[in-house]
Amino acid sequence: MIKTVLFFLALLSVLPANAQQQPQVLASVHPLALVAASVVDTDNIQTLVAANMSPHDFALRPSDIRKLQQADIILWSGPKAEPYLRGFVARWPDKTWINAAEFAPAGASNDPHWWLSPTAMTGLQAQLAAQLGKDPQPFQQQLQQALEQSNAMLAPVRQHGFFVFHRAYDHWVAALNLNQAGALTLSPGHKPGLKTMAALRTQLQQGDVHCVFSEPQYDPALVEALVKDLSVNRAELDPMATSIALQADGYVRFLTSLAERAAPCLTPPANHH
C-alpha cells in the first residue's frame, strides 16, 4: 500500500512538469526571435513579421492576430517601431509584453530598430530568461565575444565613412564606434529627393565615403543610381537577419555577420587615392 502511495506521489511530482507546457513566445521580428532562441525551444517561438518582409509597412492579418492570441510572452520593439501592436498591449494585459525599447542605453539614438542594440538585447534577453527561470549568463558571454570579434574585424576601418540604405543601424554603429556618414533615406517608404541624392553624390565624389550598403528587403536601384561610375564599394547589410536560422546562437551569429559584411566593404578599393 505504501509503495502504491509513493508511486502515485512520484507520478504527481512528474505530471505538472509534463502537463505544464512551455510558454509560447511570439517575437514581432526575426532578430528578436533569434534572441528568444537563446533560452526558448525553437518549437515554442513564432514570428509576426516574416524575415524577408519590412516591418515598416506591415499590416496585421487575421492569422497574425491568432498568433498574438496564442502567445504567452510577446517580444516587441515598442509603439514607435510597431504601432500596430499598441492596441493589443492594452487589450491583453495578462500576457507578458517585453518591450526592447525599455532597455535602451542612456543617451541612445531614438532609432526604433532596437534589435541592433547589443545593450537593449542583453536587457530583453535577461528579462525573458528571468520569466522562464533560465540563466542569462551564457548569452551575455557569447554576445560579448561577438562584439569583441566585431571590434577586431572593424578596428582597421573604423574611421572609414559609409552610407546605409536607411537609418536602421544607429545602435550597432554606436556600439562599435563606426563612422556612418549618411543614409539614403530615413524611412524606406520615402524615396530621397533629387536634392538629397545630389548632396550624397557630392559626399561620394569627395572620397571620404568608402562603402554604400543596400538591403535585401528593398530594390538596390537607388544605390546603383547614386554610385553609378564612382569607385565606391557596395555591399548588402540585412537588418532583419533573413539568412540566419532560428537557433540558440542565432543572434550572436547575426551580430557577427554584420561585421563580416561591413569590414571588406569599408576597406578602400585598390585604385582609391
User: What pLDDT score does 179 carry?
Assistant: 97
> How many whole angstroms separate alpha carbon 223 and alpha carbon 202?
14
User: What pLDDT score does 58 carry?
Assistant: 81
User: What pLDDT score does 143 carry?
Assistant: 98
What's the order of all strands across the beta sheet hosting 45-49? Answer: 45-49, 25-29, 73-76, 96-99
Query: Does the pLDDT value for residue 155 go beyond 60?
Result: yes
1's grid cell: 500500500
Global pTM value: 0.88
Query: Does the pLDDT value for residue 15 go beyond 50?
Result: no
33-67 burial, b at 16+ Cβ within 10 Å, e below that, comes to bbbbbbbbeeebbbbbbebeebbbebeeeeebeeb
User: What pLDDT score does 270 carry?
Assistant: 61
What is the residue-averaged pLDDT of the chain?
Answer: 89
Q: Which residue did the predictor score with more confidence, 191 or 182?
A: 182
pLDDT, average across residues 72-88: 94
DSSP H stretches of helix in 50-169? 62-70, 86-91, 118-132, 137-154
Phi and psi at 151, nearest 5°, equal -60, -40
User: What pLDDT score does 13 carry?
Assistant: 47
Contact yes or no for 121/100 (Cβ under 8 A): yes
What's the order of all strands across the beta sheet hosting 179-185? Answer: 179-185, 161-166, 209-214, 233-236
Q: 110-122 pLDDT, tens per residue? A: 889 999 999 999 9
Contact yes or no for 79/85 (Cβ under 8 A): yes
Name the pairing type of β-strands 45-49 and 73-76: unpaired
Question: CATH class for domain 18-135?
Answer: alpha beta
- What percentage of the chain carries pLDDT values higher than 70? 90
Query: Does the pLDDT value for residue 18 go beyond 50?
Result: no
Maximum separation of any 2 CA atoms in the chain, in Å: 90
Fold of 143-266: Rossmann fold (3.40.50)
Q: 252-270 pLDDT, tens per residue? A: 999 999 999 999 999 986 6
- Which residue ranges does the chain devote to CATH 3.40.50.1980? 18-135, 143-266
- What percentage of the chain carries pLDDT values higher than 90? 70
User: What pLDDT score does 20 carry?
Assistant: 53
Nearest Cα residue to 50 out of 19, 70, 29: 29
Q: Which residue did the predictor score with more confidence, 2 or 119?
A: 119
pLDDT, average across residues 3-25: 56
Give the model's confidence band at 69: pLDDT under 50 very low, under 70 low, under 90 confident, else very high. very high
